[in-house]
């Protein structure tokens, strides 16, 4: 097999191939990370904003979901700083 | 696929994958904590920002969760002796 993902590796030299493989891994990781974040926002903001779902998404539901998305991302940021700070402290 | 790479290159790639897996684990913990602490600390989305009480709740939640896991391990080790 000479292809990885949708990149054809057969015509390029080894260091280039290695870089391509690494980039593909990085890309897939970023995708998985984004996917997980989206799933979590969906789960938690649905719960926060649609405790009583109506026959359609109302404009107040949409307003709440928009604010909730911002707030969830801010939370992700706070948690990430707190956690990484703690990990660095433990490793000293 | 690995048949195309020499041994040194394979070693380099497996070191890279290990490093990236560690990053992935770290990110996965951050997702986990964010969800867990959101449930504990956030009651509504009336504002699109965290107020100071919510922010410190999130920070405490992460810290105490880690403390809890450290405590449990220590306690189990103590009971063994």
Tell me A7's DSSP state: E
Looking at CATH, the fold of the domain delimited by A3-90 is given as Helix Hairpins (1.10.287)
pLDDT at B3: 55
Using an 8 Å CB-CB cutoff, list chain A residues near B31: 36-37, 40, 76
Task: State yes or no: pLDDT of A49 exceeds 70.
Answer: yes
Task: State yes or no: pLDDT of B5 exceeds 90.
Answer: no
Residue of chain B nearest A17, judged by CA positions: B5
pLDDT tens per residue across span B25-64: 999 999 999 999 999 999 999 999 999 999 999 999 999 9
Task: State yes or no: pLDDT of B2 exceeds 70.
Answer: no
Beta bridge pairs of residue A3: A8
At residue A1 the predicted structure's pLDDT band, cuts being 50, 70 and 90, is very low
pLDDT tens per residue across span A16-44: 888 988 999 999 999 999 999 999 999 99
Option in B16, B35, B46 nearest A44 (CB):
B35
State how far residue A71 is from chain B, nearest Cα, in angstroms.
5
Which secondary structure element, helix H or strand E, spans residue B23, and what is its range? helix B7-41
| Reported pTM | 0.83
Q: Give the C-alpha distances (Å, rounded to integers) separating B40 from A52, B7, B56, B61, B65.
A: 20, 49, 12, 8, 12
pLDDT at A12: 55
Task: State yes or no: pLDDT of A6 exceeds 70.
Answer: no
> Could you tell me what percent of chain B has a pLDDT over 90?
79
Option in A32, A33, A79 nearest B34 (CB):
A79
Task: Reduce the DSSP state of residue A4 to 3 states and report it.
Answer: strand
Q: Mean pLDDT of all residues in chain B?
A: 92
Spans of all domains in chain B: 2-80
Task: State yes or no: pLDDT of A56 exceeds 60.
Answer: yes
d(CA A81, CA A86): 8
Architecture of the B2-80 domain: Orthogonal Bundle (1.10)
């Amino acid at each position: 097999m000479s292809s990885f993902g949708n990149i054809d590796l057969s015509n390029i030299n080894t260091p280039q191939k290695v870089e391509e493989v690494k980039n593909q891994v990085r890309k897939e990781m970023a995708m998985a990370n984004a996917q997980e974040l989206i799933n979590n926002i969906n789960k938690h903001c649905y719960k926060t904003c649609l405790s009583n779902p109506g026959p359609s998404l109302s404009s107040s539901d949409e307003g709440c979901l928009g604010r909730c998305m911002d707030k969830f991302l801010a939370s992700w940021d706070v948690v990430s700083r707190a956690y990484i700070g703690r990990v660095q402290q433990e490793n000293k | 696929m690995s048949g195309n790479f020499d041994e040194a290159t394979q070693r380099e790639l497996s070191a890279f994958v290990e490093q990236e897996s560690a990053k992935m684990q770290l990110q996965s913990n951050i997702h986990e904590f964010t969800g867990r602490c959101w449930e504990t600390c956030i009651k509504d989305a009336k504002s699109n920002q965290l107020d100071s009480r919510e922010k410190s709740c999130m920070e405490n939640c992460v810290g105490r969760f880690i403390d809890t896991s450290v405590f449990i391990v220590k306690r189990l080790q103590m009971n063994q002796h």
